Each structure stands twice: as C-alpha cells, then as structure tokens.
Structure 1
Amino acid sequence: MKILILLAVVLVVATAAGAVYFRRVADDPTVWHVDPLTATKPDSPNAALIRPAGGDGTAPVFAVPPLELAAAIDDFALGEGRTKRIAGTPAELWMTYVQRSALFGFPDYISVRVLPEGEGATYAAFSRSRYGHSDMGVNASRLARWQAALETRLGN
C-alpha cells in the first residue's frame, strides 16, 4: 500500500513539474521563425503546411491589400488565447506565434507569410508542434480554423 501511495505522489509531482516546465520553456525566434514558403515539413504527423502550391492545403486569395490581410491574421491569432507573437510583425508580412495547449502548456509554433497576389493577397502558414510525434490533428485544425475566420472577416 505504501508503494502505491509513493507512486501516486511521484506521478502527481512529475505531472506538476512537467506542466511548469512546458509553460516556461523558452521560445527561441532564431529557431522557430521560419519562412513557410521554404520550410521543410517533418516526417512526423505533428505539423500542417498551407502554401500557394505544394502544401497540405491552399490558402485562398483575399480581395484586400497584403497589409490588411497580415493585420487580420495577427488580430485573430493574438485573440485566440494562450497565443503570443514571438517574431515578425504585420508590417513585415511575416509573423511567428506560439500557442500553448490549455492543460500542460505544450508549445506549437505557427509561422505565417503574407504574399501579394494580383489585386489582393494570400498567405502561407506552417503550424507545428515542438514536442511529441503526433498532435492528433491540432495543427491542421488550427490552420483550418484560422482560414475560416479570415474568410468570415474578409470575405472570399
């Protein structure tokens, strides 16, 4: 019985320590601020990539200037909760965000590049997990959610 109690205590302490660690791990922009147009998607199923061509999906062309699209992406991303921008700005048309999971604070990194396209703009985005082999579709769902929000806000 004492061993079971000891194992339970160790499990609780390890879980708490893990939650603190993952919430406090540094987000190094020199590592995570990558261009989604040239980024290489890992072999593991914990990333999603949207590009004008050659990604998991294609972003639509919005009938707005690139700066307006970049500002809309930034507003939505920062409004999602547990998200902060770690590199770039809408004025640069290239931003990288970290979004942490609710329970343990696992970091996912999302790099977005806005591109002029004819009279409007489109984007490329690369969303990936820092830890783990599989993300259970979280990164692909995130990019789909962001795209749906942009289409609602900006039309298409």
Structure 2
Amino acid sequence: MKMIALWLGIGAVILLGAYIRLAPSDPAKWHVAPVGEQNRDLEGGAIRVVETGPDGLAKLDAIARDTPRTSVLAGSVDEGMITYITRTNVIGFPDYTTAQQDGDTLRIYARLRFGRSDFGVNRARVEGWLALLQP
C-alpha cells in the first residue's frame, strides 16, 4: 500500500511539473498594458515607472532578450509594448513581464503566474534590467 501511495505521489509531481511547463500562455490575458504612475512592490511582482527617453523600450528589449530562459510572448518595440516570459531554471515556473513605452516614460509590470508570492524574484529581475539600462 505504501508503494502505491509513493508511486501516485511521484506521478502527481510529474504531472504538475508537466502542466507548469506546458500550460499555454494566452497573450490576451498576459499582454496587457501596465497600469500605474508610481513604483509599487506587489506580493507576486512589481511595477516600475521610469523616465528613459523615447528609446527605453528598445534598450530594455535588448537586455531582456539577453536574459537566460526569457522569450517574447507578444508585442514588439515598433508596437510600443512587449510581454516577456521568463522561466525558473529547475521547474520552469513562468513569470510575465510587460514593458510599455509611453513617450519618455517606460512602464514595467512583472508578475508571477502560479502561486501567491514570488519571493522578490520579479522585482529583482526588473531592478537588474533597469540597472543595466542606466548609462
């Protein structure tokens, strides 16, 4: 009986891991404009509003694309808004970061998909990107 429970537990963990890695990312849900006029730290993410000049999104795009395990979900520099998916190394949890250029202002909204807390991972990633954005 214990062996069956063990195998069922292992199977459940494998299925959960497969779901986390393979669950589709709907651009209609995740590629949304960041809202806010000030920086905010959230339990599962962060919002940053910075003055970058009109080319902030293009510079951030180069930095984000150079980040390991990060890809574009939707958008482009030409559209003025891009949403990235960054996955954790081991399990592959997806985090979504949307950046939008509004004149000289760059708005960034980073958030998790699964769970309630990201332990500051999204905030740290965005802060790292912004540090690289500085001249």
TM-score (norm 2): 0.86
CA distance in 1 between counterparts of 2:67 and 2:10 reads 29
CA distance in 1 between counterparts of 2:30 and 2:94 reads 11
CA distance in 2 between counterparts of 1:99 and 1:89 reads 16
Q: Which SS does the other structure have where 1:91 is aligned?
A: coil
CA distance in 2 between counterparts of 1:112 and 1:147 reads 12
Per-residue deviation at 1:106?
1.3
5+ residue gaps, structure 1, are 39-43, 52-58
Q: Which SS does the other structure have where 2:118 is aligned?
A: coil
Aligned residue number for residue 98 of structure 2:
111
Q: Which SS does the other structure have where 1:27 is aligned?
A: coil
CA distance in 2 between counterparts of 1:145 and 1:77 reads 10
Does residue 89 of the first structure (1) align with residue 76 of the second (2)? yes
Aligned residue number for residue 41 of structure 1:
none
Does residue 99 of the first structure (1) align with residue 86 of the second (2)? yes
Which runs of 4 or more aligned residues in structure 1 lie more than 4 Å from their structure 2 counterparts after TM superposition?
Answer: none
Over the aligned positions, Cα root-mean-square deviation in angstroms equals: 2.0
CA distance in 2 between counterparts of 1:108 and 1:25 reads 13
Aligned residue number for residue 17 of structure 2:
19
Aligned residue number for residue 64 of structure 2:
77
Q: Which SS does the other structure have where 1:124 is aligned?
A: strand
Aligned residue number for residue 118 of structure 2:
135
CA distance in 2 between counterparts of 1:113 and 1:49 reads 11
Aligned residue number for residue 66 of structure 1:
54
Per-residue deviation at 1:102?
1.4
Q: Is residue 109–residue 127 contact of structure 1 (8 Å, CA) maintained in 2?
A: yes
Q: State the AA in 2 paired with 1:10.
A: L
Residues 68-112 of structure 1 deviation map (CA, whole Å, 9 limit, x = unaligned): x22221111122122111111011221111111112111111110
5+ residue gaps, structure 2, are 37-41
CA distance in 2 between counterparts of 1:15 and 1:23 reads 12
CA distance in 2 between counterparts of 1:14 and 1:106 reads 17
% identity of equivalent residues:
31
TM-score (norm 1): 0.75
Q: How many residues align?
A: 131
Q: Which SS does the other structure have where 1:66 is aligned?
A: coil
Per-residue deviation at 1:127?
0.4
